[in-house]
Structure 1
Amino acid sequence: MASRVQQLFEALAGRLDREQAAKIERTIQWKITDEDPGVWAFKIDNGSGDLISGGVDNPDATFVTDSETWIGVAEGTLDPMRQFMSGKLKVEGDMMLALRVPKFFPVGAVSNG
C-alpha cells in the first residue's frame, strides 16, 4: 500500500491548474527527508504535467522537508510560507518558481485525494 506521502504526490498530478501552468516549462522537485523518504519531481510543460517518482538530476526548484510538513502543506492545514520561514520547508534553486507553486497547485488541492 502506498504511503500517505506518495498518495498525495499521485493526487497532486491530477490537480495541476493548467491555466496557471500555461507557457511554463519547468521541473519542480520535492525531497522528503525523514522516516518516509523519497524524491518526486513534477515536470510542467505548457499546461500539462508529469509526476516523476525518484526525481530528476537538474530540477529548476527543489523543496526539502519532512513528511509531516509535506502532508500538512499538501492538505492545506499548514501554511507553506510559514513553514519556509520556520525552516521546516527549504527551497533550493529558483526561488521565484518556488513562490509560484501554490498557483500551479492550489493549497489544499489534494486534501480529498
Structure 2
Amino acid sequence: MTVNDIIKLMPSGLNSVAAADMKSSIQFDIAKPMYLLIDHGTCTAHEGVVDAPDVALTMADEDLKAMLKGELNGAMAFMSGKLKLKGDLMLAQRIPSLFDASKIG
C-alpha cells in the first residue's frame, strides 16, 4: 500500500466528534501531492495541491506512511528534520487525534 493509498483511506478513519468544529485543509507535499479537506466532521481526500492550505506537511513518502500508521512519532520526525511544516502548527499537532490509525493502514 502506498502513502497515497493511505491518505485516500484517511476520511474513513476521521474522528467526526474531534473534527466537529473544524473547517481545514491539510496538504501533503509528497512525490504525488494530496490534500484533505475537513469540514465540520466530514473529510474528503483529493489528489494535487490545494490553494492556501491551513497546514502543509513535507516529508519523504515512506516517513509519512510510517507516521500515518502510527509507527513514527510526528514530534520526533519534526525535531529530526524528517518532517517540515508550514502553516498552522496547532492543526498539525491535532492530526493524530483526528484520525484512527487502525482504520487507515
**TM-score, scaled to structure 2:** 0.92
- Residue 27 of structure 1 aligns with an amino acid whose one-letter code is S
- Residue 56 of structure 1 aligns with an amino acid whose one-letter code is V
Contact persistence 2:57–2:86 (CA under 8 A): yes
The structure in which a higher percent of residues are helix is: 2
Question: Which of 3, 6, 11 is the aligned partner of 2:4?
Answer: 6
> Which runs of 5 or more residues in structure 1 are unaligned?
none
- Determine the structure 2 residue equivalent to 1:17: 15
What does 1:88-107 correspond to in 2, within 5 Å? 88-107=82-101
- Cα distance in 2 for residues equivalent to 1:68 and 1:60: 23
> Which runs of 5 or more residues in structure 2 are unaligned?
none
How well do the aligned residues superpose, as a CA RMSD in angstroms? 1.4
**TM-score, scaled to structure 1:** 0.86
- Determine the structure 2 residue equivalent to 1:78: 72
Cα distance, 1:29 vs structure 2: 0.9
Contact persistence 2:8–2:46 (CA under 8 A): no
- Cα distance in 1 for residues equivalent to 2:22 and 2:42: 9
Quote the sequence identity (%). 31
Q: How many residues align?
A: 105
Contact persistence 1:73–1:108 (CA under 8 A): no
**4+ residue runs over 4 A deviation:** none
